[in-house]
């Protein structure tokens, strides 16, 4: 963590700008280096001041928060935490913000004059420090906003354009930044009913349920947030609940899902590596691994294990990723059998199964 975390506060309310600044600076490790009254000003200051994190309101004049967020991620990628009365749990605006790349969110009171606004102070400080303390997250954002703003294309030679049909028994998919929107372009197009699918999407707690419901409404196959102890069924997509790991337990003739906070020492919870390794424990080489858009390399270790036992993997290509981190790690290790555009991934999965 840097000596002082540099934060930019963007909110159209002068009261909220002042309140958030005061709350943040009660912690000596946090410094508010600027404030902005709307999205236009916020975007300009993000580019000029290079903060470690931006707190961003949604309802603002001239340029709203979601538009600002989208422009920040394209023009000057920076960790953003949404702070708005509209970012309540399960709200469409919150899910949309996460789809656009927001790292996290915190709700504020609907009334700016309500003294209960102070209740967000501890959570606000905790989240800011937690986000910025992740060195890999900060490093990846710095790499993304290099002066050229262009990611170097990596050279790779995928083994196949489509996957061998080996009789897959399960699909294990890992995804992070940019995931909610990307999953909406993949899951509704899946048609298989003969195997289960397990997904880890890096999201805050309680939001995976909203994401699961949205995907289920769009899909012909069943999509649900995984629950402790439920029996695994074919033709069902299980999404790990935010803040918890999802693993499998084998029983005579059936398998069940286990939801736990253990292990505690993972960078992400849920973790793609934890989930995928557990799926491999049960289904072995008949696990189809899929790694999509996201920062970091979560999932690469499990994919490496999958390859060693004879399994196959799909990685999303660089051009269609919001952040080309997790797929890149798999590709650079030589473990991507197929490298595919986002639109082609469901086609390849359906054909393989």
Q: What's the token pair of residue 145? A: 């906003």
How does strand 245-251 pair with strand 254-260? antiparallel
Compute the CA torsion angle 94, 73, 151, 275 (nearest 10 deg). -20
Residues facing 81 on adjacent strands: 55, 104
Alpha-carbon gap, residue 178 to 174, rounded angstroms? 12
Question: Cβ distance 154 to 318 under 8 Å?
Answer: yes
Question: Cβ distance 300 to 326 under 8 Å?
Answer: yes
Alpha-carbon gap, residue 164 to 323, rounded angstroms? 28
Instruction: Give the C-alpha distances (Å, rounded to integers) separating 58 from 99, 226, 352.
Output: 14, 30, 42
Catalytic residue ranges: 176, 202, 298
Residues facing 288 on adjacent strands: 171, 312
């Amino acid at each position: 963590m840097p000596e002082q975390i540099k934060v930019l506060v963007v909110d159209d309310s002068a009261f909220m700008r002042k309140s958030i600044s005061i709350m943040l600076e009660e912690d000596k490790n946090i410094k508010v280096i600027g404030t902005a009254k709307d999205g236009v000003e916020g975007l300009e200051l993000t580019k000029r001041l290079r903060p470690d994190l931006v707190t961003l309101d949604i309802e603002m004049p001239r340029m709203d928060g979601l538009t600002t967020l989208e422009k920040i991620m394209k023009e000057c990628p920076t960790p953003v935490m949404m702070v708005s009365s509209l970012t309540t749990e399960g709200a469409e605006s919150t899910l949309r913000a996460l789809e656009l790349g927001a790292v996290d969110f915190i709700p504020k009171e609907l009334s700016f004059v309500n003294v209960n606004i102070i209740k967000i102070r501890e959570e606000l400080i905790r989240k800011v420090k937690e986000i910025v303390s992740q060195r890999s997250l900060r490093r990846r954002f710095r790499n993304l906003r290099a002066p050229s703003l262009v990611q170097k294309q990596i050279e790779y030679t995928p083994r196949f354009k489509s996957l061998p049909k080996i009789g897959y028994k399960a699909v294990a998919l890992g995804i992070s930044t940019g995931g909610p929107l990307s999953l909406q372009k993949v899951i509704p197009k899946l048609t298989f009913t003969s195997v289960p699918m397990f997904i880890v999407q890096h999201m805050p707690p309680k939001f995976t349920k909203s994401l699961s419901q949205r995907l289920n409404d769009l899909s012909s196959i069943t999509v649900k947030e995984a629950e402790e102890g439920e029996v695994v069924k074919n033709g069902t997509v299980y999404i790990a609940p935010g803040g918890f790991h999802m693993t499998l337990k084998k029983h005579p003739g059936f398998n069940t899902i286990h939801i736990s906070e253990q292990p505690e020492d993972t960078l992400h919870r849920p973790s793609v590596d934890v989930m995928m390794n557990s799926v491999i424990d049960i289904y072995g080489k008949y696990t189809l691994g899929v790694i999509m858009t996201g920062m970091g390399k979560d999932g690469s270790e499990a994919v490496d294990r999958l390859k060693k036992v004879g399994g196959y993997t799909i990685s999303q290509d660089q051009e269609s990723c919001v952040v080309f981190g997790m797929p890149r790690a798999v590709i650079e290790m030589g473990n991507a059998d197929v490298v595919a555009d986002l639109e082609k991934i469901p086609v390849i999965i359906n054909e393989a199964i």
